[in-house]
Amino acid sequence: MKDRHTTRPVLVIAGLLILALLTGLLAWRAAARHRMERQRDRFSATVRSLGLDLGHRPGVPAVDNAARWLRAATSLVNDTCIKASINPLAGKPAATWTPAQREGVVQCIESNREVLDLLHRAARCPGSDWELSLSLDAKVPPSLNLLQCSRLLGASATIHMDRGEVPEAMEDLAAMGTVARSLEEEKLLICTLVGVASENNLLSVLRHAVASGRIGPAQVAAAESLLPRTDLVKASRQAFGVETNALIGAVNDSPNDRLFQPETKAGFLLLRFGPILGIPVRETLVADIYELGTRRLRLAETPYARLAAAPPAAAVVHFPANIVVPRRMFGNGLVWSFLGRIQETTAWRYLARVSLALIRQAGENGRYPDTLPVSLSRRQLFSDSSPRLELHADGSARLFLPKALELSDRLWKWTGKTAFHHLAWELPPPAGRK
């Protein structure tokens, strides 16, 4: 009897502890679910307020689809000679090539003549659709081969410009614009990045053509039509939004997906057995992803000049998500680099448009203006500054963004690559200047 009376309080206490534990888990789960729903609503409200469309774009008929011809070109491209002969000369004008380098480029172009024909065919299509699924396992376009095609077109355009064959060069530049635009209009991060890289190739060739005087007032309208018009800031936001939804889908479908493999044994056990025990692993992880997605959407219009000077603190990952998710998922470095490249290319494109507008004006007036008109002085996110025009005694001019070159060095140093320095455009003396 004494033993029974002794064990009864122990059982009562154990029962109360279990009840308290269950009550605590239920409360934790309810709080986590409430936070998840709150973060989901904040994300959806941000998407609506920015006018974003995170669904599929309307399809393009096969006969009008540039992606059809681009895919055919990538399947035939001889990238061996491009890597050997063309890539080392990227961003360099033809005047700096040696005879041997020039011969290698010409031979590579001839060996890819069928590829160039397909790329030119793509440029005649009014639209593009790679028919991608908006998920983590989407079969993305052949990105590396598309970049090689863009560089091939750039080399061909450079050769034509150097020979004075401007219409032929414009045809190559139009195809480069098609490659860039076809990817920038898709809603996956990798497509946006490759599209931006392709557009940079186009801007590089155009910049040298402007500096050499090959793009005069008569060619301005044609050159302006080549430049992509995709709103890259909006495109980056849509890519961030689609990635957020894709991550949520992957978590809901399979918390044990390879992208969510924990870095520790404790994290693996928590991910596997936590939900069985009532621990809100999935709810916490989904809420964190929604919160990160909202934050990225809002950061897209923060000037890179500010981000580089004072990077925002790393995103908070709550327990138990901070145990079951690899740290790289919520890292900041890739986000700042991505936003920097988007804003840098937007600034390059704007300088290209301003340069062409100045060439047109100089053709009419015989000289460049003493200062930039207000209509051509829009502040650029990348440098958080407006372009400036510097006139030279011989009638030439230099268009540039203050502090942009230093920012480019900082941006590309982070990636381990060399900055292109296209944020300063040299304008030749106008023909027949007064």
Residue 204 placed within a domain: yes
User: pTM for this structure?
Assistant: 0.90
Average pLDDT score over the chain: 90
Judgement on whether residues 6 and 27 belong to the same structural domain of the protein: yes
Residue 271 placed within a domain: yes
Judgement on whether residues 29 and 64 belong to the same structural domain of the protein: no
Q: In what order do the strands lie in the sheet with 397-400?
A: 388-391, 397-400, 424-427
Q: What is the pLDDT of residues 377-423, one digit of tens each?
A: 999 999 999 999 999 999 999 999 998 989 998 888 866 677 666 78
Query: What does the DSSP assignment read for 82-147?
Result: IIIIIGGGTT--GGG--HHHHHHHHHHHHHTHHHHHHHHHHHT-SB------SSTT-----HHHHH
The tokens describing 334, both together, are: 């890739």
pLDDT in the model for residue 256: 52
Of the residues 277, 305, 331, the one at which a domain ends: 331
Judgement on whether residues 167 and 306 belong to the same structural domain of the protein: no
Residue 233 placed within a domain: no
Residue 52 placed within a domain: no
pLDDT tops 50 at residue 329: yes
pLDDT tops 50 at residue 69: yes
Q: Which residues pair with 389 in a beta bridge?
A: 399
d(CA 226, CA 109): 21
Domain that holds residue 323: 2-42+239-331
The fraction of the chain above a pLDDT of 90, given in percent, is 69
Of the residues 331, 351, 369, the one at which a domain ends: 331
Q: What is the pLDDT of residues 114-137, one digit of tens each?
A: 999 999 999 999 999 999 999 888
Q: How many domains does the chain have?
A: 3
Judgement on whether residues 283 and 157 belong to the same structural domain of the protein: no
Residue 51 placed within a domain: no
Judgement on whether residues 75 and 216 belong to the same structural domain of the protein: yes
Judgement on whether residues 358 and 378 belong to the same structural domain of the protein: yes
